[in-house]
Every structure is written in C-alpha cells, then in structure tokens.
Amino acid sequence: MPEQRGAEWRTALRALGSPLAAFCLVLLVLNDHLLKQAWPGWVTGKLSDLVGLVVAPLLLGVALAALGVRRWRRWSVGPVVTGFVVTKTSVAGAAAVSAAWSLSGVPTHIRADATDLVALPAVLLAMLLWREAGGADGRRRTAAVLGAALLPLGVLATAATGACDTDDGLTSADVVTGRLSGGDGTRRTILVLQDHHDLRAIDAEGEVSTLPRDERERMGDLDLTDGAGCLPDALTCWRVVVGNDAVESSTDGGRSWDPELGFSAEQQEEALDGVAETCGEEPRGWLGDLAVMATPDGPLVTVTAFHAGVWLRDTTGEWRRLDLDELRAQPAPEGVEPAPGWLRSVPPVVPPYAPPGEPTPVPATPGPPTCPPRERTTITPHPANGDPFEVCG
C-alpha cells in the first residue's frame, strides 16, 4: 500500500511538472500580478479562469495522492468544478467561497459571473496530463522533480488568483466618442465612468447604462482631470474644491468661482451607510474626478464619489446623486457584436485660471483717471447744461 501511494503521488507530481502545466503556472502568475493591473477586463479575467482550472486540479491531486486518497483524480476534479460553478452562478456562493478562502490568511473577494463558465473545459487538460504522466524513466524522474519544485509556485499562483480584488467604486470619469457596440453604427459622444471592472455610460439625455465588456478593450486609459473641466468655449467651468467636499462653477473661464454643490463629511458618511468594506479597506465617499460633456440641450457634468456613487448635473442645472446599487442595477450586456474602430477619449478642457488648490487671481480694479501736473482744466458750460467739471488738458 505505501508503494502504491508513492507511485500515485509521483504520477501527480509528474503531471504538475509537465511542460504544459509549468506554462500554465507561469502564465497564471504573470496574468494575476502584471497583466490584470495593466489591462483589466474580460481577456485577463477569462485567462485567469482558464489556466486556474488547469492548475487547481493538479495541485489538489498532489495533495490527495500524498494522503493516499483513493480515486484522487476524481476527487481532484469534482470539488474544483463544483466550487467553480457555485461561485460563478451565485452571489451567495461567491461570498461563501470568498469567506472560506480568507480563512487561509489571504483576503479574498470573488465575484459571481456566469460568463466565466466558458472556461470549464480547461479541467480536461488536467485529466489529460494525468493520463500522459508516464514516459521514459529519465523523463518521469525529471518531471517528478520539476513538479516538486513547482509545487510552492503553484500554491502561490492559486493564492494570487483568489487574492482580494479591491473594489474602489467609481474612480474616474471621461468623455468618449466613437461607435458603440450594439448601436446603429453612428458615432456618439458619451460620459464614461470607471466602476471597478465595468464601464458605466451616461448619454446626452442623462440615461445611465453599462457598456458591454468588450468596450474596455477598445478604449485606452481614462483621462484624469484633477477635478476640473470646462465646456469647449473654456468659459463655463466646474471644479472640485480643496477638501473634496464641494463643487464650484465659473462663467468667466475660472477667474471667479461660485459654490454650486456641497457634499459634506456628514453627508458622505450617511451615503456610505451600509456599504461594506472590501479587502479590509474602509469605503470612501469624497468627490474625485470631474468630467464635462456638451450636449444640444446644455452641459452634463459628472463628479465621481468612489463608493458613494456619482453626482450628475443634468442639462437643467439640477444635481442628483446616483449610488452604486442604482448604477449597477443593469449588468453588462452579453453577446453583443463589437463595433469596429476605437473609442477615443475627448481631450478635456480645463480652466486656464485657478486650478483646484490655487488661489483665484483677482483682476485689478482701475482707479480714477489722473492728470499730469498743470494739465487739469476746468470746463464751465452753459448753466443750463450742468455744473462745471475738470478734464485733463
């Protein structure tokens, strides 16, 4: 029996040490530590699921074979597939798995997303590697040694996959132009809000929607305007004031400012009531990025407020706050044919005077005209035309 256990364990190690498994391990680490941060979106998310479903059964198989579990292959695949399906199809399941994984000391936040189920066939590769774990003695010995060496990396890779993905709420706003997927092919200009891994859109009528996930691949990074923006004439402007709790407006290109919106610390705390922590971090509600979009009916202005949602100034000049639940009520549409071309950011117009945090320049008030010495003349008109007055000669 010990000999059989040792043989099964070496088979599991050889599968883990195969070239394909080693490639998946390296790709999983690179994807979760580099690619996801550089290009967050559908591609890197699905890639993590694909290679993770190859690596996870192989790692579990090594552990179960070492423990002498009978039919360890079946018990390696079954729990992984079941856990993946439950996690991706149920919000409660995702929360339960996140909580269970966090007990290991790695803060974890896993999101339910049924589209990730397309990665399930990847577990067949793990089964194929187990079947082909034999070969020449030299190859078998080398693969087993390599599998043992890769075991710590595999544990690190799966921990990174389940590591907590901090949800910062709404972080940036931008004006984007281009042909939207699923539209009629005409070029449109919209306000786009970065909401974790999703993009929320506000059109010229003020309607809020979620863009298809493929739109993230057609768009570059959103421009941060440091909390200030103007209409194309550079005269009508808005800015977030120092302290991030109010918005001011200007009609003279930023020479003078008037208060327009207040969002005090007490109001922020009230808006965040019921918002849970993510990865142990307290939710934030102060005002952040600001974007201005000109429409035929007037300007639309948005100011992100992280976990407190977004403030929207409609074309009538009224401000209203949309919280995250309201923004996330509509999920990203699936199966939409991507539109051709790119979605381009419209360069923001920022006020040339007094950016946020700097004092507003006060134009000098011209004084009364003065005359050079001995050049003042008294004019005495006809009494019917008024009193005498002085002029410069």
Does residue 323 contact residue 311 with C-beta atoms inside 8 Å? no
Run of H or E including 127? helix 123-131
Averaged pLDDT score across all residues of the chain: 78
Which of 164, 165, 162, 163 has the alpha carbon at shortest distance from 80?
162
Ramachandran angles phi, psi of 62, nearest 5°: -60, -45
Does residue 19 contact residue 125 with C-beta atoms inside 8 Å? no
**pLDDT for position 367:** 46
CA distance 107 to 155: 15
How large a percentage of the chain has pLDDT more than 90?
26
**pLDDT for position 94:** 66
Mean pLDDT for the stretch of residues 39-57? 80
pLDDT band at 204 (very low <50, low <70, confident <90, very high): very high
Mean pLDDT for the stretch of residues 35-47? 71
Which has the minimum average pLDDT: 146-160, 253-267, 358-372? 358-372
pLDDT band at 377 (very low <50, low <70, confident <90, very high): low
- Of residues 324 and 3, the one with the higher pLDDT is 324
Does the pLDDT at position 168 exceed 60? yes
CA distance 21 to 9: 16
Which of 336, 334, 301, 338 has the alpha carbon at shortest distance from 316?
301
Chain position carrying tokens 């009629």: 184
Does the pLDDT at position 373 exceed 50? no
Does the pLDDT at position 267 exceed 90? yes
Q: 38 burial class (0-12, 13-18, 19+ CB within 10 angstroms)?
A: exposed
**pLDDT for position 249:** 95
Does the pLDDT at position 202 exceed 50? yes
